[in-house]
Chains A and B, each alone.
Chain A
Amino acid sequence: MESIRVHSKGSGIKLFGLILILAVIFITAVSLINLDFQKFFERLENVPDVLGRMMAIDVSVIPAGLLAIVTTLALSFLTLVVAVIISLLLSFLAASNITPNRLLADFIKGFFAITRSVPDLVWGLMVIASLGFGYTSGFITMLISAVGYLTKTFAGSIEEAGTDIIEAMRSTGASWFNIIFHGLIPLCITYFFSWITVRFEANVAESIGLGIIGVGGIGLLLTKAIGSYNYPQTTTILIMICLFMLILEFTMTKLKNRVKFGNR
């Protein structure tokens, strides 16, 4: 009886080779970073104690927490609006199908590719070094990353619209602004809106993270609680952050679907 091949010839060797390569990468990585397991296990003994102390809630911090959440939301929203306005302008200059100048488009894209690859918190450190602590630093930091993100995604959506509409409108004598306001913006606005909701969530997460380096909001409150070894407050604020992010995610998904599918 002739047996039928289930796998193609040589696939076994290929699979073996792949697994070998993956294993070698893993082992080199582990050996290169020399993790100190002994110290880790010594510290592991303290963990139940710390976790035990964290199993408590401090209700008195809730009002301050809620106010800090409003601060976080306000800062994120303010930055978002400014970022959307700037990105809208830049994205029409950067999208290859509508840009007035190819070189300008490439420059904008390249510039934001670099700013995006610097992590948010690193921007935060640099901005705080120059402007000092405060909401203005938070605003500038988040503006840099939000504009980078929105310009890229907006330009992507505009490019997806293709050149048909633009050519059709151009042949009727429409100007650059006409094409944008009557052709592209109505077409792309639902996509823009979904990117904006995604970015709002990211803005909030970022502004919480920026609390670690001293920008106000719920993140700063948490950092203070951690810094002063206040276990019950830490737990309470963590729970608040988690609930807040869940509600935010839920609301943003609802909003996105409502705009996308128009069901009210």
Chain B
Amino acid sequence: MNKQLTLTQSRVLLKQEKSNQPILIVIAIIAALVFSFFYLKISLVDMIVGLPNFILFFFQKFLPASTENLAAYIPSVIDTLGYAVVATYLSSILAFILGILISEHTNKFKAIRLFVRGFISILRNIPFIIWGALLVYIFGIGGIVGVLALLLVTIGFLGKSYAESIDEIAGDKLEALKANGSSYFQILVHGIIPQFIPAWINWTLFAFEINVRASVVLGLVGAGGIGVLIDTNINLFKYGEALTIIAVVVCIILLTEFATNSIRKRIL
């Protein structure tokens, strides 16, 4: 009682409590920073000069872009986009099945749920370029390997997203369907899938964007596509040509984003 009185009499506190937590956090961050700095034995001068040096190098060596062989890049561009399209199609189907297996509402068996969830999180947690390198290691160089690597990565991403969307749908409606005696597949086809379609379109378009980006990069490990051209041209010191290819890549990626966004606007 006494304590409350003094509280109301005293001035209004702007801060709830005086704590030294912010100071501790700042000290911890600085300590981690200092540790990283000395552990890597990186030189401060190099770090500061690095970016200007790179920009200077860029303007001196990469510019001007040479556009002589522009027509020769077209097959690689088609390959890159083709891998992304095929991988998106296949993965959206496979990931839908996995999504159904992960969601609590569509799969009652906990053991299977956990198993599929674990499998997908392994797929997601290893960076895609590592998957690419690994698959090239197992299968050798080639286009199919590129598609496979894209598939693995996209399944990991889409499986999780689909499962979350299915989880959001479930509820009263499914219960109502269950109550009037619908079978499992009737619930799936008439209860879940119609409501799932907008989320499905959205995630799949997103996956396509990711696939296009990944497909460009997978060329670096020998899985086909336009990445190979960037790598070889830089290794041959043909920087002007490399810059043109990179510009082509930027165009592809920006156009894809534009296309998926306009599809989203029209449909959703």
Contacts and interface: CB of A to CB of B under 8 A. Distances in A.
Contact of A32 (B43, B82, B227): B82
Given A126-B58, A139-B47, A212-B133, A50 B138 contact: yes
Interface residues on A, range: 35 or more
Nearest to A67: B39
Interface stretch (B167-175, B177-185, B249-257): B249-257
B139 interface: yes
B231 A32 contact: no
Contact of A81 (B29, B144, B220): B29
B105 interface: no
Nearest to B121: A246
Contact of B54 (A32, A51, A130, A245): A130
Given A119-B249, A121-B217, A136-B42, A238 B134 contact: yes
A194 interface: no
Contacts of A120: 217
Given A33-B83, A81-B33, A117-B254, A136 B89 contact: no
A213 B220 contact: yes
Interface stretch (B1-9, B95-103, B122-130): B122-130
A209 B127 contact: yes
B133 A223 contact: yes
A136 B50 contact: yes
Contacts of B63: none
Interface string A232-247: 0010001001100110
Interface stretch (A35-43, A100-108, A155-163): A35-43
Contacts of A65: none
A130 B42 contact: no
SS class, residues of chain B in contact with chain A: helix
B205 interface: no
A226 B133 contact: yes
B36 interface: yes
SS class, residues of chain A in contact with chain B: helix
Nearest to B216: A119
Interface in A12-37: 22, 25-26, 29-30, 32-37
A119 B78 contact: no
29 contacts: A22-B89, A33-B78, A33-B143, A35-B147, A40-B139, A40-B142, A71-B39, A74-B39, A77-B32, A78-B40, A114-B250, A119-B217, A120-B217, A121-B217, A122-B216, A122-B217, A125-B230, A129-B234, A130-B58, A130-B61, A136-B50, A139-B42, A143-B51, A209-B128, A209-B129, A226-B133, A241-B126, A242-B126, A245-B125
Interface of B: 29, 32-33, 35-37, 39-43, 46-47, 50-51, 53-54, 57-58, 61-62, 78-79, 81-83, 85-86, 89, 121-122, 125-130, 133-134, 137-140, 142-144, 147, 213, 216-217, 220-221, 227, 230-231, 234, 239, 242, 246, 249-250, 253-254, 257
Interface of A: 22, 25-26, 29-30, 32-37, 39-40, 43-44, 46-47, 50-51, 70-71, 73-75, 77-78, 81-82, 113-114, 117-122, 125-127, 129-131, 135-137, 139-140, 143, 205-206, 208-209, 212-213, 219, 222-223, 226, 234, 238, 241-242, 245-246, 249
